[in-house]
Structure formats: C-alpha cells, structure tokens
Structure 1
Amino acid sequence: MHRFDTSAKGVYLITVTPFTDSGALDLASTDRMVDFCLERGVTGLTILGIMGEATKLTAEESRTFTRQVVQRVQGRVPIVVGVSSPGFAAMGELTKAVMDLGASGVMVAPPSTMRTDDQIVSYFDMVGETLGAVPWCLQDHPVATGVQMSASVELRIMKNAPHCVMLKHEDWPGLNKLSAIRAASDRGDVRRVSILTGNGGGLFLPEELSRGADGAMTGFAYPEMMVDVVAAHARGDVERAHDVFDAYLPLAKYEQQAGIGLAVRKHLLHQRGAIASPFIRKPGPKLSAQDVADLDRLVRRQDQRLRELG
C-alpha cells in the first residue's frame, strides 16, 4: 500500500460517488471510475468528500463504497477518505472502518459551529486524540464549512498534531495564506507538511504551485488537466503549465458554478464513459437543455485548443 505522509504530491483526485438511475450505489461504475482516474495519471484518490455526496450515504454505504474503491485500486495509489463529523464517536468509528478496509488516511474539516481561533485549535486537538496514529489531512474549505482559519491557526494545529501530514488548501482568496504557511515551514517554525490545493476545481492551480503547493486535491471531469499542469510545473516548464491550464479553464470555470457544479461534473463523466449514470441523490441539481448545449460547445472548443497546443 502507498503511504500517505508529508511527502504527498501530484494529484489526489476528489471522486464522485456513482449511482444507478434508481439512486443505488453503482459498484460496477465505481470500478470504471477508478480505472478512468488511474489511466489519466492521478497519484491518489480522495473519496467521501463534499462532491462525493458523503452526507447522502448511510454508514454502511460509506463502508461499501470504500471497500470497492480499495479493492479496485489494489494498492496502486493512496486512498484518503473524508470522515468529517461534528461528533467524535462517528468520526472515530468511520476512521477505524475505512483504515481496516485498506485506506491510507483520512481528511477532516472543522464543523460549522466553530467560531473562535481557540475553539478551532481545541477541536483539532480532539481530532488528533480521536484518530491516534492515523495520518490525516486538515481541510480548509470555508465556502463549505463557514469556518475561517487563519494561517496562524493552521500552524498551531500542525504544531499540535504530529499525524497531520497534509493541508488541503481551499480558502479563496488564499494565495497569501499558502505563501505564509510555506514560508513558516521553510524557516523551520513548523515541520513541512504536504499542501494540496482544491480551489474551485483547480481554478488557481498554476499560481498555487508557484506559491509552494505540492499539487492538487480537487475534482474535475478532466483530471488529466491537473496531472499535466502539475507535471509541467514540476519539470520547470511554467509557461507550458499555464498554456495547458488555460485550454481547460472555460470548462473548469463552468463546472464550478454554485448549485449545478456536481451535475455538470457527473454529466461530463457520464459522457466520457467513466460512470454509467449522472444520477445525483436528492437534494441535488439538474441540468437544463441549455446547460447541456453550453457544455457541448465548451468541450468542442477545448478539444480544438488542445489540438493546437499539441
């Protein structure tokens, strides 16, 4: 099994959860989706995240889905599982279950009830106690959680938590926060942890890489975009990274619309053969005929631009 630790880099793709047209877990499509992601070069998978409809799954479904992903991956890449919960009993139970199934680590975001810096730090101290030696990722996603964590708060959390190996940076705007955290580790104020970014399906990925991010942890129906951008940046070809990113940007931006983003992603993954159905469990958005027409146009233009880039 691949280790999940502070050296993590590349693209940890946030996956969707495939359902049948009737809303049941689609385990055959889960296998297809895993193969689709690995064929496009991702270096890790993150499941049961916000865009994975985790809150719409039962506890048993969460375990079943995790088991299917682990079995299909067969240890080829790390698997990180979202286990965020206001209650530590549920978090601890799910963490034990997924780690026993073969997950590489877990991801935790603060609950929306957190209001002060001290509350946030105390909460994550208890996360550390609950998870024990399990490696975990600190998710900073204020758009979803409503919780604002400053760079100083995140540094306090990291100092207190030896098994926090990664920051999933999703604050927006957040480039200066990313720079501050990386500068602190460069000075030796805090140990260096992996920083993977998730802003809007990678809408700021080239800039985040230049600020010291180690890669991306987010979702997009074209994961090869993030793989190629990260690879180009890593070999020092920053202009190529920007050129590739720019070719995908119109579609990535469309996919990040509030409200319909998940429907867009699942529609595109369905079109690309990664999943058998674009079904979203209630409550969830639906695309209009005009939405679909927009996407067809964007995909055509994207394909043309990629051919021009070579």
Structure 2
Amino acid sequence: MLDETTKGVFTIAVTPFLPHGALDFDSIDRMVDAYIARGANGLTILGMMGEAGKLTAEESVAVVRRVIARSSVPVVVGVSAPGLAAISALSDEAMDAGAAGVMVAPPNTLRTDAQILSYFQDIAATLGKTPFVLQDFPLATGVQISTTVILKVVETCPTCVMLKHEDWPGLEKISTLRAASDAGARSISILCGNGGMYLLEEMLRGADGAMTGFGYPEMMRRVIDAVNAGDIDHARDVFDAYMPMIRYEAQPGIGLAIRKYSLARQGVIAHPTLRKPGAVLTPAATAEIEALAARQRIRLAQLGLADEASG
C-alpha cells in the first residue's frame, strides 16, 4: 500500500492502442515488463499522459485490471473526474483489483484556497481508507495550490500520503514543504513530474523520486540512483546525456506523440497510436527524434552506460 515513505521511480505509463484506436493489451503486457526492467519501483496509470479522458469507464477498468495483473511493483491509478461519484467508482475498482493507491487532480472549477482545501477533504472522505496522491499540476489544471494549502490538506487528510509535484517553476515549493516537515509538519512523499525536466534539481531540493513518463524511462532510475549514491557529478552527466530528448519531448501539444514514437521504436509498445483527437508527427519531426536518439546513444556510450533501447 502507498504510504508517506514511498520513494523511487513511479513511471507514468502510456495507454497503448492499435492503429484503429482499440486498446492494445499485448502491448500493455510488454510495456509493464519493460518499465519494470528499466528500473520502475512502481507504475502510475490513467494519468493525463495516459489518455485517460479518452477511455470509456469499462476500458479504464480493463486497463487497470490488466496492468495490475501483470505488474510485480505497486500500481497507482489516476481517478480524476469532474464528480466524486465517478472518482469513487473507479477507485473502488482499482483497489479491488490490487492497486496501491489512487491519484487525484483538482477540477478546473476551483478558484480559492478554501475551495481547494474543501475539495481534497471531500476526496479523503469519499475514498475512505484508500491512500491518495495529490496531483499538483497547475499548467494542466489551471488550479494554483499554495504550499500553505498543501500543508493544510496533509494536516487534515491522513490518507493523503504523496504529492505529485508538477508545478513549474516549483523548486521553491519543494524546499518550503521540506522545511515545514523539518519543523514538525507531517511529512509525505514527494515525487515529481513534468517529464523529468527538472528531476536533478528536484532531487537536490529534497524530492523522494519521480512520478513521470519519458520515452527513455531508465533516465529517471539512473539519475536518482546517482543522486542517492552521492555522486552528483555523475548524476549531472547522465541528466545532460538525456536532456536534448527530454527538452524535445516537453513540447506542448505533441509531447505524448513524441513519447509514444520513442517507445514504439524501442519495441516497448507495438504502435505509436494516439486515440483521436491526438497529434500526428510529421516526417520532419520523426527525423528530429531519430537524430536526437543517435546523439543520445553516443553520449551514453561515453559515460559507459548501455543504451537500453532496442530501436
């Protein structure tokens, strides 16, 4: 079960589709195996980059059951929805299937600190004993959650055990939360997102790891291992080797298409399909990805690291 001490890499999983848009269950199995082989301590499914909003309720449950049945590591399920009834229903399905916890982002209707706090208190009451992750991603949700509100949620909602930190810029938020816990506030796990764009600095500010996706998921494991070993120079070298691809994948609007292309070229999933509506890469874009991948292999070889991609 997810708790306040959770650390490491929880890879945000894509949702694989066949070319005509149906769920690709064979690729789900292969993807789960690949993420774990590349260092995931856990998996997070049905997040914003998992195209959760494009799935029917029945498809969501099918994905949850398939991933959990295949996985040998804890699985967190994104259950965000406009209403509490839908959140409760999917959360119950997920926990019955063996999930370690669920993740909830605030709806874009929240405007004030009081509304945000009340919402997550309602979430805690709705979910009961189920541990949950507070997803703080204002660039996507439009909801700005201050450190003061996060600390109040943590204080009043014992089942909030993790912050998925995706504020941008947000490094000072990590420092403030850690200072508060050092001063006696309840400490929870902080795993960071944004495709790993700031992972190195986030770890140095006191984050516990990553909960994000990237077309080369082993990057998170390698950077975090180096930081935890105290080898900051090596962590910087590894991070630098991947940074051109991280930067390219971070493009708004087409980032998921880039990630799925990278995963498909490595054989992690069979097809780079996004369910419609979704971005389609041009030949120029795929050529840029190939050039970046070639340079990345050279940089990794210079560091004595194997390129885990098969593409």
TM-score, scaled relative to structure 2 = 0.97
Which of 219, 222, 231 is residue 213 of structure 2 equivalent to?
219
Structure 1 position 22, deviation (Å): 1.0
SS of residue in 1 equivalent to 2:77 = strand
Tell me the residue number matched to 2:90: 94
Tell me the residue number matched to 1:209: 203
Which of 136, 141, 145 is residue 137 of structure 2 equivalent to?
141
Q: Deviations over 1:213-232 (max 9, x none)?
A: 00000000111110000011
Which letter does structure 1 place at the counterpart of 2:82? P
Which letter does structure 1 place at the counterpart of 2:39? G
Q: Distance in 2 between matches of 1:103 and 1:173?
A: 31
Structure 1 position 85, deviation (Å): 1.4
Which letter does structure 2 place at the counterpart of 1:167? L
List alignment gaps of at least 5 residues for structure 1: none
After TM superposition, the structure 1 = structure 2 runs for residues 133-282 of structure 1, keeping only pairs within 5 Å, are 133-188=129-184, 190-199=185-194, 201-282=195-276
After TM superposition, the structure 1 = structure 2 runs for residues 48-67 of structure 1, keeping only pairs within 5 Å, are 48-67=46-65
Which of 36, 39, 63 is residue 38 of structure 1 equivalent to?
36
Q: Distance in 2 between matches of 1:25 and 1:86?
A: 24
Structure 1 position 6, deviation (Å): 0.8
Structure 1 position 239, deviation (Å): 1.1
Q: Distance in 2 between matches of 1:133 and 1:71?
A: 22
SS of residue in 2 equivalent to 1:172 = coil
Which of 19, 30, 34 is residue 21 of structure 1 equivalent to?
19
Q: Distance in 1 between matches of 2:153 and 2:2?
A: 19
Q: Deviations over 1:14-72 (max 9, x none)?
A: 00000101110110000000011011011010000000000000000000001100111
CA RMSD of aligned residues (A): 0.6
Q: Distance in 2 between matches of 1:277 and 1:176?
A: 39
After TM superposition, the structure 1 = structure 2 runs for residues 1-20 of structure 1, keeping only pairs within 5 Å, are 3-20=1-18
Q: Distance in 2 between matches of 1:185 and 1:37?
A: 32
Tell me the residue number matched to 2:280: 286
Which letter does structure 2 place at the counterpart of 1:223? P
SS of residue in 1 equivalent to 2:88 = helix
**Count of matched residue pairs:** 304
Which of 301, 304, 307 is residue 301 of structure 2 equivalent to?
307
Which letter does structure 2 place at the counterpart of 1:193? I
Which letter does structure 1 place at the counterpart of 2:21? G
Say whether 1:106 aligns with 2:102: yes
Q: Deviations over 1:151-189 (max 9, x none)?
A: 11111111111011100000000000110001101110x
SS of residue in 1 equivalent to 2:218 = helix
Q: Distance in 2 between matches of 1:34 and 1:308?
A: 29
Q: Distance in 1 between matches of 2:19 and 2:98?
A: 29
List alignment gaps of at least 5 residues for structure 2: 305-311
Which letter does structure 1 place at the counterpart of 2:56? T
Q: Distance in 2 between matches of 1:86 and 1:275?
A: 30
Percentage of pairs with the same residue:
58
Q: Deviations over 1:220-278 (max 9, x none)?
A: 01111100000110111111111100000000110110011010000010000011111
Which letter does structure 1 place at the counterpart of 2:101? G
TM-score, scaled relative to structure 1 = 0.97
Which letter does structure 2 place at the counterpart of 1:22? H
Q: Distance in 1 between matches of 2:82 and 2:181?
A: 29
Which letter does structure 1 place at the counterpart of 2:151? L
